[in-house]
Chains A and B, each alone.
Chain A
Amino acid sequence: DIQMTQSPSSLSASVGDRVTITCRASQSISSYLNWYQQKPGKAPKLLIYAASSLQSGVPSRFSGSGSGTDFTLTISSLQPEDFATYYCQQSYSTPIFTFGPGTKVDIK
């Protein structure tokens, strides 16, 4: 089974900061990697698919990169509404999917 890890598990940042979250797969997953944002008490929201494609309606300050085993989600200038938990997900082994453990971004 493909295992996903994320780092850091949490981070504190200020509005306007550039934030980078890393996701690593236990084997190569090409670019079959998605990113989700989840706010407390809410359902997850798709941000990025295929490692770097921005989902419709998602602000352009979010970007994704990487391929193979190492991926990053970058928020270029953190906004108040971006404080949330972020999850990566591999779809390489479709129809079996695996999520990363999550990275919580909170206010510094």
Chain B
Amino acid sequence: EVQLVESGGGLVQPGGSLRLSCAASGFTFSSYDMHWVRQATGKGLEWVSAIGTAGDPYYPGSVKGRFTISRENAKNSLYLQMNSLRAGDTAVYYCARGFRYGGNPSWSAFDIWGQGTMVTVSS
């Protein structure tokens, strides 16, 4: 069964750090782009980071310089190191698989999602 399972969420103080993990199974992890997406309670989805098959990372401006995405293909694992956390980073964090349905990189969607892990930034 194709599956993603996140872990590592919890309560952290503002300015603190947290490392999220995502364990993949049921597919060739190294062959896929991977993503983190977050969702604050009652709010919409926000793309947080991506990593390509070659390990190239990408971030939106809201987290650039504070978050670091990485992958360990030998362990079928994706990570998100989050530093300098703020109250606004409080959310459920999902990992998702990037599905490329064409040769152009823009032909991409998120076809498999984990169940999410909750991150709460509060004093």
Once A49-B101, A97-B50 are accepted as A-B contacts, the answer to whether A91 and B45 lie under 8 Å apart by CB is no
Q: Are A99 and B45 in contact (CB under 8 A)?
A: yes
Contacts of B102 in A (CB 8 A): 50
Q: Given A44-B113, A45-B113, do A96 and B47 touch, yes or no (CB 8 Å)?
A: yes
- B 33-47 to A, binary, CB cutoff 8 A, 1 in contact else 0: 101010000001111
Total chain B interface residues with beta-carbon distance under 8 A: 27
Residue count of chain A within 8 Å CB distance of chain B: 27
Say which residue of A36, A50, A93 sits within 8 Å of B101 (CB atoms). A50
Chain A contact residues, CB within 8 Å of chain B: 30, 32, 34, 36, 38, 43-46, 49-50, 53, 55, 87, 89, 91-102
17 A-B contacts (beta carbon < 8 Å)? A30-B106, A34-B109, A36-B45, A43-B116, A44-B45, A44-B113, A50-B102, A55-B111, A89-B110, A91-B107, A91-B109, A94-B106, A95-B33, A95-B52, A98-B47, A99-B47, A102-B45
